Amino acid sequence: MVAPLRFALTILLFLAFPADAAQRTIYLTFDDGPLDGTSNILDVLEAKQVPATLFMVGMHAQASSANKALVKRAKGLPLVTIGNHSYSHAYNHYRHFYSDTEGVVADMLMANAVLGLKPVVHARLPGRDVFRLPSMSKNDNSLGQAQIGREDPDYEFVAASGFYLYGWDHEWVHEDSGKPVQSVDHLVTEIDHLFGYGHFVKPGKLILLMHDEMFRDVFDGKTNLTNLINALKQRNYTFGALPGYDG
């Protein structure tokens, strides 16, 4: 009976931890800051000493002296990468935004100037799950048939203007209010299942999309992010810095 029991335990462990730790890397990314919630994110990242990328919006960075201070603080944290998430966030009118290739490039370059970023800049386009990296290229599979191919010039010209573009593999979803949809436990279970299937843009590497507004005090943001990092560490995931993602 001992051998079958040992075999069953091995299977259970494989299901819980489906790949070697070196093959299970998570890249924490946060969009739309600096906003309420950004300070809590930085507090947790500093306390837990894990790398992350904050894709910031130039317009938000200019909105107040407090937001400017958040950008400066984030830049001072060695494990934090500041990324470009556009100047205007397309004013949330994506199709109109992407109908003007020169305007898209100008918007991204304006954000560089505001955020003090110099090429090569790690960036995420607003509203688009798009990759343009030296080793690979991927468009947003969620776009409707009418949009397929129409925005490619935007992506190509932005990339050629000194940007590495990153999409994501999974999202911690939030309501319109900013409240997280999945509990931490539910999200970790989803991540476990994803690594079990292994369908990522790059094998063994999961880019997790989150938004700064999710981590406000009203949503227990600091506690939720701390619990997420602790849970992933307990399950032997490693945390990667996005500048090394394409290596």
CATH code for position 147: 3.20.20.370
What number is the average pLDDT over the span 192-214?
96
Give a yes or no: residue 1 inside a domain: no
Phi/psi of residue 186, nearest 5 degrees = -65, -45
Give a yes or no: residue 205 inside a domain: yes
User: pLDDT band at 18, cuts 50/70/90?
Assistant: very low
Between vectors from CA 143 to CA 140 and to CA 148, what angle results, nearest 5°? 85
User: pLDDT band at 135, cuts 50/70/90?
Assistant: very high
In the chain, % helix, strand, coil (3-state, to 5) comes to: 45, 20, 35
pLDDT for 163: 98
Give a yes or no: residue 63 inside a domain: yes
Work out how many domains the chain is built from and give that number.
1
Asked if residues 16 and 201 have their Cβ atoms less than 8 Å apart, the reply is: no
Q: Are strands 25-33 and 52-56 parallel, antiparallel or unpaired?
A: parallel
Statement: residue 240 has pLDDT above 50: yes
Query: What's the CA gap between 23 and 145, in Å, rounded?
Result: 34
Statement: residue 15 has pLDDT above 60: no
CA 30 to chain centre: 5
Give a yes or no: residue 5 inside a domain: no
Give a yes or no: residue 28 inside a domain: yes
Give a yes or no: residue 9 inside a domain: no
Residue burial 93-112, b: 16+ Cβ < 10 Å; e: rest = ebeebbeebeebbebbbbbb
| Three-state SS annotation for 22-75 | HHCEEEEEEEEECCCCHHHHHHHHHHHCCCEEEEECHHHHCCCHHHHHHHHHHH
Query: What's the CA gap between 8 and 42, in Å, rounded?
Result: 42
pLDDT for 21: 52
What number is the average pLDDT over the span 61-85?
98
Give a yes or no: residue 121 inside a domain: yes
What number is the average pLDDT over the span 136-150?
86
Statement: residue 10 has pLDDT above 50: no
pLDDT for 199: 84
pLDDT for 148: 74
pLDDT for 22: 52
Statement: residue 174 has pLDDT above 50: yes
What number is the average pLDDT over the span 44-60?
98
Q: What is the DSSP letter of 118?
A: -
What number is the average pLDDT over the span 170-177?
98
**Tokens standing for residue 31:** 């969009």
Give a yes or no: residue 13 inside a domain: no
Domain span at residue 147? 20-241
